[in-house]
Amino acid sequence: MAEKRGRFLNTLSGRFLILTVAFVMLAEVLIFVPSIARFRADFMILRLEKAQIASLAQLAASDMVTPELEAELLANAEVYNVVLRRDDVRQLVLSSPLPAPISATYDLRDAGPWELIRDALICLFDPKDDIIRVIGNPVQEAGTLIEITMDAAPMREAMLEYGLRILFLSALISIVTAFLLFLAVQRLIVLPIRRVAQHMAAYAAAPEDARLVIAPKAQVEELRAAEEAMQAMQRQLTGSLRQKERLAQLGSAVAKISHDLRNILTSAQLFADRLEGSADPMTARAAPKLLGSISRAVALCESTLQFGKAEEAAPVLVPVDLTALAADVAEAEGLAADGAVAVLIDIPSGMRVMADAEQLYRVLSNLTRNARQAIEATGQGGTIEISALETAEEWRIRVGDTGPGLPEKAREHLFEAFQGGARKGGTGLGLAIAAELVRGHGGRLELARSDAEGTEFLIHLPK
């Protein structure tokens, strides 16, 4: 039971119910304090009026009022003494012995609201049976002042009884109000939110099912806006998942075709090798072209298979000597400082970057190979430069060349697989893989420049 109660209090409905009761009770308390002060003032004013009536009876028949009748008049007015001031004369009209000294005097003629509230709270929480003096204005202008002495205990009892009634009524009002607000919140807010949550859970279980996309029904404007935003997101996600599934199936089919085609092309390459030794001059001249075409087809199949493998593993970041790594890349590509395609490595001595050495090698190798092939395609010499610099936020590696630059069509989809190829017969996989590896490091690969004077790529590796 305690667990269920705790779970209810942690719900939106439970907390709203508690807050509603608390705020209503607070409002009732703020109403109760002035009310009890007003009740006390009215109680004393009523005693003053009764005492005035008794005193007027005494004045009207002063010779006929016996001590017994005077005591009865005082008992009916519930006071001990009555003093009237008329024509600037202060007159003790009715009197009887006081059981105790007067403990306090309250003048109702000039009392303000804060003073009445203060005196009421003191009276309410003071259990002593005191004798108090009350001063006020007579009704019907029957004098300039009336003064009485009375017991405070009956007034305190009446105030307690009145306060209990007010508190009971306040509690009843707060419970009814809280219950009605609870029902309203349940219908207008909680149920729509619960409906959205149920849709989210159902959609998460089968996001490809378009029937589970939420249909906005909320009447509250904010909730309806949330439902409409969720509907748009779910439709977009469902479409993306369907497209991803189709692409995955297409990729699987392409991988299978590439695998089988590579085997077929390998066999064709073996037969083409024999054609180079043919005695027929035309066959001998055509054989190298045939071999080149088959080699490019095999390379395309191998690249497709490589790209279709599982995603790259997360990089293992270690300090990497960038100068040594760039030298290894240049050597693997057959580049030298004095070759037809020269390489220039301009990296500060001892610079180390935090990266996965194998993955960074593949990135530099892809960029360097593309640069070398671009320069060789011109039939002239050129230079490839690998440089780097370090800032407070990142390492910046530059790979530039003096080649012919990238075609405009290649720049539009430069880092997209099978679309960003810069040379004839290329697949664009090298740059796509390089960009993916750099993103895995939290960085980015960008084309800084490409024009008639050459091409420049920048690798940004964050610290």
Q: Is the pLDDT of residue 6 over 50?
A: yes
Cα dist from 176 to 15, 20, 303, whole Å? 16, 10, 74
3-state per-residue secondary structure call for the chain: CHHHHHHHHCCHHHHHHHHHHHHHHHHHHHHHHHHHHHHHHHHHHHHHHHHHHHHHHHHHCCCCCCHHHHHHHHHHHCCCEEEEEECCEEEEEECCCCCCCEEEEEECCCCCHHHHHHHHHHHHCCCCCCEEEEEECCHHHCCCEEEEEEECHHHHHHHHHHHHHHHHHHHHHHHHHHHHHHHHHHHHHHHHHHHHHHHHHHHHHCCCCHHHCCCCCCCCHHHHHHHHHHHHHHHHHHHHHHHHHHHHHHHHHHHHHHHHHHHHHHHHHHHHHHHCCCCCHHHHHHHHHHHHHHHHHHHHHHHHHHHCCCCCCCCCCEEEEHHHHHHHHHHHCCCECCCCEEEEEECCCCCEEEECHHHHHHHHHHHHHHHHHHHHCCCCCEEEEEEEEECCCEEEEEEEECCCCCCHHHHHCCCCCCCCCCCCCCCCHHHHHHHHHHHHCCCEEEEEEEECCEEEEEEEEEC
Lowest mean pLDDT among 137-146, 186-195, 293-302: 293-302
- Residue 301, pLDDT score: 63
Q: Is the pLDDT of residue 446 over 90?
A: yes
- Residue 46, pLDDT score: 92
Q: Which residues contact 76 (CB under 8 A, 6 or more apart)?
A: 50, 54
Could you tell me the two tokens for 28? Answer: 């009732």
Could you tell me the two tokens for 379? Answer: 């039939």
What is the radius of gyration, based on Cα positions, of the chain?
Answer: 49
Could you tell me the two tokens for 359? Answer: 């993955």
- Residue 67, pLDDT score: 78
- Residue 3, pLDDT score: 59
Mean pLDDT over 277-284 rounds to 68
- Residue 272, pLDDT score: 66
Give per-residue pLDDT as tens, 404-426: 888 877 777 787 765 545 555 45
Contact call for residues 438 and 455 (beta carbons, < 8 A): no
Domains recognised in the chain with CATH numbers: 2-177 (no CATH), 221-307 (1.10.287), 318-462 (3.30.565.10)
- Residue 92, pLDDT score: 84
- Residue 459, pLDDT score: 96
What percentage of the chain has pLDDT greater than the value 90? 21
- Integer Cα distance of 308 and 254 in angstroms: 9
Q: Is the pLDDT of residue 118 over 80?
A: yes
Mean pLDDT over 433-456 rounds to 91
Q: Look at 268 and 323; give whichever has higher pLDDT.
A: 323
Mean pLDDT over 195-216 rounds to 79
Highest-pLDDT range among 91-100, 181-190, 217-226, 364-373? 364-373
- Residue 425, pLDDT score: 46
Mean pLDDT over 434-452 rounds to 91
pLDDT band for 275, please (50, 70, 90 cuts).
Answer: low
Q: Look at 363 and 270; give whichever has higher pLDDT.
A: 363
- Residue 278, pLDDT score: 66
Nearest to 227 by CA among 240, 218, 236, 219: 218
Cα dist from 286 to 266, 274, 297, 366, whole Å? 18, 12, 17, 31
- Residue 302, pLDDT score: 62
Q: Say how many CA atoms lie within 13 Å of 447 toward its Cβ.
A: 20
Contact call for residues 272 and 290 (beta carbons, < 8 A): yes
- Residue 462, pLDDT score: 93
What's the one-letter identity of residue 303? S
- Residue 310, pLDDT score: 47
Could you tell me the two tokens for 316? Answer: 């293992």
Highest-pLDDT range among 90-99, 182-191, 318-327, 376-385? 318-327
Q: Which residues contact 219 (CB under 8 A, 6 or more apart)?
A: 188
Give per-residue pLDDT as tens, 57-96: 777 766 666 778 878 888 888 899 988 887 777 888 888 8
pLDDT band for 344, please (50, 70, 90 cuts).
Answer: very high
Residues 293, 299, 304, CA angle at the centre, nearest 5°? 130
Give per-residue pLDDT as tens, 351-402: 999 999 989 998 999 899 889 988 988 888 899 999 999 999 999 999 999 9
Contact call for residues 398 and 385 (beta carbons, < 8 A): yes
Mean pLDDT over 324-344 rounds to 88
pLDDT band for 332, please (50, 70, 90 cuts).
Answer: confident
Mean pLDDT over 252-273 rounds to 65
Lowest mean pLDDT among 224-228, 320-324, 388-392, 434-438: 224-228
Highest-pLDDT range among 214-223, 226-235, 237-246, 412-421? 226-235
Could you tell me the two tokens for 414? Answer: 């430069």
Q: Which residues contact 234 (CB under 8 A, 6 or more apart)?
A: 203, 207, 212, 213, 214
Question: What mean pLDDT, rounded, does the chain reach?
Answer: 80
Contact call for residues 359 and 312 (beta carbons, < 8 A): yes
